[in-house]
Homo-oligomer: A and B are copies of this chain.
Amino acid sequence: MTELKIAADLIAAENDKRASALKSDYQALGESLSRRGIDIDAVTGKVAEFFVAVPSWGVGTGGTRFARFPGQGEPRGIFDKLDDCSVIHQLTRATPTVSLHIPWDKADVKELKAKGDALGLGFDAMNSNTFSDAPGQAHSYKYGSLSHTDAATRRQAIEHNLECIEIGRAIGSKALTVWIGDGSNFPGQSHFTRSFERYLVAMAEIYKALPDDWRLFSEHKMYEPAFYSTVVQDWGTNYLIANTLGPKAFCLVDLGHHAPNTNIEMIVARLIQFGKLGGFHFNDSKYGDDDLDAGAIEPYRLFLVFNELVDAEHRDVTGFHPAHMIDQSHNVTDPIESLISSANEIRRAYAQALLVDRNALDGYQQENDALMASETLKRAYRTDVEPILAAARQRAGGAIDPVATYRASGYRRKVARERPASSAGGGGIV
């Protein structure tokens, strides 16, 4: 029996307050959609089956190089983090899996598995960490990891990834995500080609150790922590990696890892076309890798990404099954609330994309009717699908209004009493 962090009674009571309004809105939307030839229940059904993984590191308060301002009741370790993740899933019914970060989340694998089982949570892609030094580590990653000029450092980074696979195997994960901070801060510091050759050799070794039913996700990023060049800087390099490594290697797209003005949805389309879209790290951003809540800044962009995903489903693209994961930094909000909200926003974009009249769109595209093609997308996008999202949650036992219900539950106050305050960060790093 699943251990529940929020009392089912509370959820029911909160839902009762909102059930009648939801019913009315849902019915009105259903009628309006039926005039457009859309069966609202079919959409709600698809939304209810759409899931996104939450990152274990996302339930702690994030920060910048200038400071970290801790929140109340921050998780003390992976078991607290899993508790917090279970709250998100219980209320949204959208996040049944958690993505771990090693070594941050290192623990006895049997206990991890048992805790996950108890909370009704599975484990999504494993994340290795070779962008910071763990205490006691023999070789520093200051000048790189998988692409380091020193063979022993590369070896250490490879071994760490192999260990991540082993942990993942034991807890039921099926994928490894590799993001490295390797790069340079000065022209000349690194040899672009030799660095990338070393990276490819190292990754080939990790790839070889991958179980047959696993996928390897490599993640590109334009800059940060390296400020002149990054080894895996964009989707072009990322594609070369996945293509060089083999059929189990795929590209991961983090929405915040691109140059200004980049058309990200087009990158998604290209990776789908060439069979190498592994999945997403969802978040939103205005300037750089701001790691803000999904949909908070440019919701239409998120919709356009989902428009590509639904289009690929619609065209029944072979082997298309991208992984959906959130990767955010919650600096000024309660992380649980941000993750609840983000999971909703991601489902919102999915629901809106499901409403696109694809036959009409095909026709407009074929006729180069740019205005009506645009309007076809906008029409789906501007539909207020909140009743669909709320109904999907409600029907699955979640909350009609998950943030309000979370606040009503007093969960944060409760854990704040149990978990000691963590220390503020920052200072000196300017």
Contact = CB atoms under 8 A, between A and B. Distances in A.
Interface of A: 21, 24-25, 28-29, 31-32, 35, 57, 60, 62-69, 101, 104, 131-135, 140-144, 149, 181, 184-194, 196-197, 222-225, 227-229, 233-237, 239-240, 258-263, 265-267, 269-270, 272-274, 285-288, 290-293, 295-301, 304, 307-308, 311, 327, 329, 331-334, 337-338, 341, 348, 361-362, 364-368, 370-378, 381-384, 386, 403, 424-430
Nearest to A301: B298
Contacts of A367: 149
Nearest to A299: B300
Given A24-B32, A370-B185, A260 B259 contact: yes
A218 to B, nearest CB: 14
A21 B386 CA distance: 21
A109 B296 CA distance: 47
Contacts of A141: 67, 69
B266 A229 contact: yes
12 contacts: A134-B427, A144-B368, A189-B364, A190-B365, A227-B292, A235-B236, A240-B270, A287-B288, A288-B288, A296-B374, A299-B300, A300-B300
A131 B67 contact: yes
A138 to B, nearest CB: 13
A371 B403 contact: yes
A426 B307 CA distance: 34
Nearest to A191: B365
Contact of A332 (B35, B197, B334, B368): B368
A332 B186 CA distance: 9
B237 A270 contact: yes
Nearest to A430: B57
Given A132-B66, A273-B193, A429-B329, A292 B228 contact: yes
A286 B66 contact: no
Contacts of A311: 191
Contacts of A266: 192, 229, 233
B236 A181 contact: no
A57 to B, nearest CB: 5
A418 B192 CA distance: 37
Given A187-B374, A237-B270, A266-B233, A104 B193 contact: no
Contacts of A295: 378
B370 A189 contact: yes
A373 B184 CA distance: 11
Nearest to A297: B228
A133 B67 contact: yes
A330 to B, nearest CB: 9
Contact of A133 (B308, B366, B424): B424
